[in-house]
Chains A and B, each alone.
Chain A
């Protein structure tokens, strides 16, 4: 997995060993950026569908704004679902950083580290926080939470979509959602409110990734593009 490289020129006289660690394989990286695009489209069009924020004038026959918004929303939803299906497959076909057992912290050490990393973010003994190559426990919990949010939104979304054709394939597949949540309006509310969790998650995700790169020089952003990270070989990583 890891390749050791000597970079003597940077630290003449005191060689520091680096290693390049391959983390994210190309299918996962592609999935990440597809999700970025589709979620962005879903949020923009979704808020228009929820509360149309501009209007068209003149004859109805001359405009198709809401219809186009809904079309975009449904296409983006289809893309998201397709990606989700591949991601589920990748939970079993991916490497150890991508597999299902990386979804949640599951060892006693992980839970202890979760606390240490939380403390690091609160500027308390940051040097004591452990290093992770892949996702640390906080990342695991938050990303898996967003997976769960996406699942609920997909279910409620397809349920509402299916209402236009009761008795159809989608209605038979998703009609139970309405019974479970207590009606179409409750499904609509859930779908709408959960969108805000994305708007809470995205700034935090962007900030912490950027901060990891700027402050700790963890090369997190480039790892989601190139797939790997350069890290010092003399450091210990929990999930190496």
Chain B
């Protein structure tokens, strides 16, 4: 990404000129643009326009902030065995500031960041991974002696667009799980005055990041977003509705344990806690690690990592339903419900027996018996006299 390269994209050349110099053929470039048009959902007919627009693109400036996070998102983007043009593009994009990848450290790079943000004020793309802790004045994250809130606020001021990459930047991820001791929140809780694009996932798929950046470079605008700020082209459908194991779900064929026959036959993972029915992500289509595989393809249930609060609501990962908070971890919803229903049935039975006992005592003339009132028959006496008469 920020590694030294003999083919640096100089500020004077366009992307088209640069790719030529780099040895990317026009055929490769056009076929990649066609793929991206499909990924973005604009249709392959749009390819000529995308080719034209991308060829003219000048080197954009990118500031990548890493806040409260584990660096996994950067790793996810980097770990590619077979670099595509998309990876190349991310390589080429001028990372003016990126903790993990830049060679320098300390005051020098902080100064470089300040310079880049000043020179490109209002034009640079801000990519953020990691959440912002708000508890105790944000002391749980400091960079160069400043809190994450401060650093983010400053960087956001001059950004042309903001992309929050990963579950941490989206809503806080594991550090925001109950009880959230550092008060971690997502980027869109801090930046309120403009849209933040959320590339959801823990980590997200690198292709989604690439496609979003390309959309921005091509159209000068961010792609259409859903209610959580996630690009619709990627997060517009549930895993469950794109799953290659859906046929087994509909047929009623489920893996019961991870080593059973159903697991070997690649049946549906619904009963071992798959969160595909609650999770919006392009995993089944885009897949991971250079399109090698994805969790469900490898026989593991989806954990729902593109959804907010998934550490709290999608756990236990191998159960269908979340645990009931306040009733203890071991007692799940069904145990409580079944106990109450059985209790009701038992209570009803006991009450019926008690009623029967009271009635038989009353019939036997027990003076201590409770007499249960009757609404629709005449007084007992009349019935008895009636019977006597007919007997006689």
- A residues touching B (Cβ–Cβ < 8 Å)? 10-14, 16, 18, 50-52, 54-57, 60-67, 69, 121, 123-124, 126-127, 129, 131, 160, 163-164, 166-167, 175, 179, 182-186, 188-189, 192-193, 195-196, 199-201, 203-204, 207, 211, 215-219, 229-232, 235
Contact = CB atoms under 8 A, between A and B. Distances in A.
A126 B373 contact: yes
B298 interface: no
B354 A123 contact: yes
B320 A196 contact: no
B63 to A, nearest CB: 32
A131 to B, nearest CB: 6
Nearest to B337: A196
Contact of A127 (B322, B324, B373): B373
A56 B376 contact: no
B352 to A, nearest CB: 7
Nearest to A198: B341
Q: Give the interface residue-count category, chain B.
A: 35 or more
Nearest to A63: B251
Given A52-B271, A63-B252, A183-B309, A216 B374 contact: yes
16 contacts: A51-B320, A56-B253, A60-B248, A63-B250, A66-B251, A164-B238, A186-B313, A188-B320, A189-B321, A193-B336, A196-B337, A196-B340, A203-B348, A204-B344, A232-B375, A235-B375
Interface string B319-333: 011101000000001
Contact of A231 (B262, B334, B341, B376): B376
A211 B386 contact: no
Contacts, number: 177
B333 A203 contact: no
B227 interface: yes
B105 interface: no
Interface stretch (B72-80, B154-162, B274-282): B274-282
Nearest to A196: B337
A16 B382 contact: yes
B371 interface: yes
A231 B376 CA distance: 5
B278 A163 contact: yes
B17 interface: no
B322 A200 contact: no
Nearest to A195: B337
B124 interface: no
A166 B345 contact: no
Contacts of B232: 167
A68 to B, nearest CB: 9
A199 B371 CA distance: 31
A66 B359 CA distance: 49
Contacts of B280: 166
Contacts of B352: 207, 211
Given A60-B253, A186-B313, A217-B374, A204 B304 contact: no
Nearest to A199: B341
B38 interface: no
Given A54-B252, A60-B250, A193-B333, A166 B236 contact: yes
Interface in B232-272: 232, 236-238, 240-241, 247-254, 262, 270-271
A230 B271 contact: no
Nearest to A47: B334
Contacts of B237: 166
A137 to B, nearest CB: 17
A218 B344 CA distance: 23
B254 A52 contact: yes
B31 interface: no
Contacts of A13: 385
A64 B253 CA distance: 10
Contacts of A185: 275, 278, 304, 313-314, 321-322
Interface in B349-384: 351-352, 354-355, 358-359, 370-379, 382-383
Nearest to A211: B355
Contacts of A16: 378-379, 382
Contact of B253 (A55, A196, A204, A229): A55
B150 interface: no
A208 B203 CA distance: 56
Taking each of B252, B321, B338, B345, which has the highest tally of chain A beta carbons within 10 Å of its own beta carbon? B252
A17 to B, nearest CB: 10
Contacts of A62: 251
B391 interface: no
A229 B322 contact: no
A167 B236 contact: yes
Given A10-B378, A199-B344, 14 more contacts: A11-B382, A55-B253, A65-B251, A65-B252, A66-B249, A121-B351, A166-B226, A179-B227, A184-B313, A185-B314, A188-B320, A193-B324, A193-B333, A203-B344
A60 B338 CA distance: 32
B332 to A, nearest CB: 10
A192 B251 contact: no
B270 A52 contact: yes
Contacts of A192: 321, 333-334
B337 A11 contact: no
Contact of B313 (A61, A182, A203): A182
Contacts of A127: 371, 373
A64 B370 contact: no
B327 to A, nearest CB: 11
B377 A217 contact: yes
B383 A11 contact: yes
B354 A67 contact: no
